[in-house]
Amino acid sequence: MRAAESRYSRQIRFAPVGEEGQSKISAAKVAIVGCGALGTVQAEAMTRAGVGRLRIIDRDFVEVSNLQRQFLFEESDAAEGVPKAIAAARRLARVNSQVELDPIVADLTPANVEDLFEHIDLILDGTDNFETRFLINDAAVSSGVPWIYGAAVGSYGIKMAIVPGRTACFRCVYPEPPRGAQPTCETEGVLASVTAAIAALQVADALKLLVGGPQAVDARITTMDVWQGSIRQIDATPRDPECPCCGLRRFEYLDGSRRAPVSLCGRNAVQIHERSRPVDLADLARRLGSLAPVRCNEFALRVALDPYELTVFPDGRAIIKGTTDVGVARSIYARYVGA
């Protein structure tokens, strides 16, 4: 038996996959958006399954609080402030050298989403906010690429596969972002067991779609509460002919008309990504070094400016921790990075 067959032999012996299905998995190109609690499990499972190319898109860096549930990361990654996409790819390269890994340290935006999803066969959602999911949905529906939504907080999780042209899209189910304050991992906590379980269900749908095509998944929403021990499946909302996205094909998030700075889930932080403006991190480190200790590497600069923490990335994007006020965040950015 050849090495590849030996590696995936138990997967190949599963009748619905077989050798033909494994060949399809090995030829597939998959994107994971968000490499946190959901995304790390997705990334490792897809890598071990032998997907051909895995693009990991994440804007954030590893912190100690991530280690409770984000399986690919280690204490050294947090100590060094390594971007999650980079840390994940380093680990996964040691898991399966046959998979082409493509880590992207970036925020998914209307300006880059088409490039990042170009030639991608399937998208896995590992994000933490509705705005990015609406953007994924717009991009997926416009190009006909299936994607799998997932979310978890506390002990509760939800999963839904979205196949453009066949199932309801995300905006059929959620026409608008929820109003008011929503529970987050910061306020409600989260169990690693529920994030791992939801991610595993997302990966199962991903493999079904790669092997069996658009008809392989049911148009259902799965919810679970691992603390209560409950699992429920309901039929998803039928496709809405008046849906702004899949019905009327108005891609309001893709064209950027509804884009704004985002408050990050559970981080008491605002991300500034209004324009792409390359920043010389080494020069910025020298300038800020007289104000406070600076941690800087090729991926990001981080400085504590009491009561805020400023993280700047080479593309000009920044995360201001310590506030959810967009005006304050913009002021901090202008003061220390430039208008």
CATH number, domain at 164?
3.40.50.720
Give the pLDDT score at 149.
98
Under 8 Å between Cβ of 127 and 34:
yes
Statement to judge: residues 137 and 210 lie in one domain: yes
Q: What is the pLDDT at residue 1?
A: 43
Let me know if residue 254 belongs to a domain. no
pLDDT at 12: 97
243 found inside a domain? no
The verdict on 120 and 219 lying in the same domain is yes
Structural domain tally of the chain? 2
136 inside domain: yes
- Are 189 and 297 in a shared domain? no
The torsion defined by the Cα of 65, 45, 92 and 321, in degrees rounded to 10, comes to -30
Q: Which of 192, 219, 235 is the last residue of a domain?
A: 235
Indicate whether 316 and 216 sit together in one domain.
Answer: no
Residue 48, amino acid: R
Per the DSSP assignment, residues forming a β-bridge with 29 are 53
Q: Do 81 and 164 have their domain in common?
A: yes
The domain of 320 spans: 262-336
Q: pLDDT digit of tens for each residue in the chain (339 aa)?
A: 465 678 999 999 999 999 999 999 999 999 999 999 999 999 999 999 999 999 999 988 899 999 999 999 999 999 998 999 999 999 999 999 999 999 999 889 898 999 999 999 999 999 988 889 999 999 999 999 999 999 999 999 999 999 999 999 999 999 988 765 567 776 689 999 999 999 999 999 999 999 999 999 999 999 999 999 999 999 988 999 999 999 999 999 998 777 666 666 556 888 887 666 788 999 999 989 988 999 998 889 999 998 999 999 998 889 999 998 888 888 888 888 875
The residue with tokens 């899209």 is 169
Q: Where are the alpha helices (DSSP H) in the chain?
A: 3-7, 9-12, 18-27, 37-49, 75-80, 84-95, 113-116, 130-143, 170-173, 185-188, 192-212, 281-288, 326-336
Q: Are residues 202 and 266 in the same domain?
A: no
pLDDT value at position 306?
87
- Whether 88 and 12 share a structural domain: yes
> Would you give the DSSP letter of residue 237?
P
Same domain, 154 and 285: no
3-state secondary structure of 222: strand
Residue 77 lies in a domain: yes
Whether 149 is covered by a domain: the verdict is yes
| CA gap 153, 188 in Å, rounded | 7
Q: How many CB atoms lie within 10 A of CB 63?
A: 15
Same domain, 217 and 271: no
Q: Are residues 75 and 204 in the same domain?
A: yes
Stated pTM of the model: 0.86
Q: Judge contact between 183 and 154, C-beta under 8 A.
A: yes
> Do 117 and 220 belong to one domain?
yes
The answer to whether 127 and 133 have CB atoms below 8 angstroms apart is: yes
Q: How are strands ordered across the β-sheet holding 301-305?
A: 262-264, 269-272, 318-321, 308-312, 301-305, 294-296
Specify if 257 maps to a domain: no
**What CATH number does residue 324 fall under?**
3.30.310.10
Q: Do residues 214 and 273 share a domain? A: no
